[in-house]
Amino acid sequence: MEEKQAFHFNGYMALLILILTFLGGVGLIAYATSQMKILLSLLGFIIVLASLLFLSSITIVAPNQAKVILFFGKYIGTIKDNGLFITVPLVRKIDISLKVRNFNSAVLKVNDFDGNPVEISAVIVFRVVDTAKAMFGVDNYRDFVEIQSETAIRHIASQYPYDTFEDDDISLRGNTTEVSEELAKELEERLAVAGVEVIDTRLNHLAYATEIASAMLQRQQARAILSARQTIVQGAVSMTQMALEQIEEGQDIRFTDDRKLQIINNLLVSIITEKGTQPVINTGDVRD
């Protein structure tokens, strides 16, 4: 099913013409002469009946609303223009909203990429863009959006870990924007059959499941400490190397290997340690 425009035209002009036509038919019935009374009365009756049929086809379309037109069960088109219109008589007109809607999913318990149970939910912003698919492509497009949204959230949550300390890795907690964009793309594919456009998606709840929250918090803290230590060590090595190079180049000093090891050891300890170091001053050899 694909949406198409139904036959319709300005209802104000049509309403005026139909009223005049109706009055003309009534006049023919009322003022027909005796010689042609039967013929004129029949013509007047046909005119009145046709006017009433077309009057019944007048429809009003509100802003952000559409009318799906069915003629004896056959889809003949949709009216999306706002105002008063007249269309084909003897049709069924079904209202469908084109307004932007929000759907707040339930809090779902899902296993992330590492197999840890997490709680996740999202807000989906959508609207109907194809009324034919929304009405006839699925049984109920509102229920379809809800079920497919929850399915997409489960699938996306299982593709990424809850948290990671690697700069290049995507995680649910650290990359909510990227995860939301990926969720929107998947929903677009899933909801295309229902004629629904996904405007925006946002994660509004993300946490470890209750049964592992405490243990995962400790693990998260340990991984954070390890990551911080790695950064400190890398910085200390770089600073030590730079210090030795500057001393040797600036002062024209050449250290022996043993002396270099001693300086490196002292610098690394002083930089990496969390507590303040106690300086020791070397005054040289003391002779009796």
* Average pLDDT of span 118-130: 93
* Average pLDDT of span 12-19: 82
Instruction: Read off the pLDDT band of 281 (50, 70, 90).
Output: very low
pLDDT at res. 212: 62
pLDDT value at 135 more than 90:
yes
pLDDT value at 288 more than 50:
no
Highest CATH level, class, for 101-210: alpha beta
Instruction: Read off the pLDDT band of 274 (50, 70, 90).
Output: low
pLDDT value at 213 more than 60:
no
pLDDT value at 178 more than 80:
yes
pLDDT at res. 129: 94
Using CA atoms, how far residue 17 sits from 22, 86, 158, 217, 255, in Å, is: 8, 11, 63, 76, 107
Instruction: Give the rounded percent of residues in the chain with a pLDDT score beyond 70.
Output: 77
- pLDDT tens for each residue of 71-82: 998 999 999 999
pLDDT at res. 184: 92
Q: Among 37-51, 118-132, 163-177, name the most confident range.
A: 118-132
Instruction: Read off the pLDDT band of 270 (50, 70, 90).
Output: low
Q: Identify the weakest region by mean pLDDT among 15-29, 255-269, 270-284.
A: 270-284
Q: Give the chain's mean pLDDT.
A: 81
pLDDT at res. 241: 74
pLDDT at res. 56: 81
pLDDT at res. 77: 93
pTM over 0.85: no
pLDDT at res. 165: 61
* Domain boundaries along the sequence of the chain: 9-96, 101-210, 217-272
Q: Identify the weakest region by mean pLDDT among 196-210, 246-260, 266-280.
A: 266-280
pLDDT at res. 286: 45
Instruction: Read off the pLDDT band of 280 (50, 70, 90).
Output: low
pLDDT value at 275 more than 60:
no
* pLDDT, greater one: 279 or 203: 203
Q: Identify the weakest region by mean pLDDT among 180-184, 200-204, 237-241.
A: 237-241
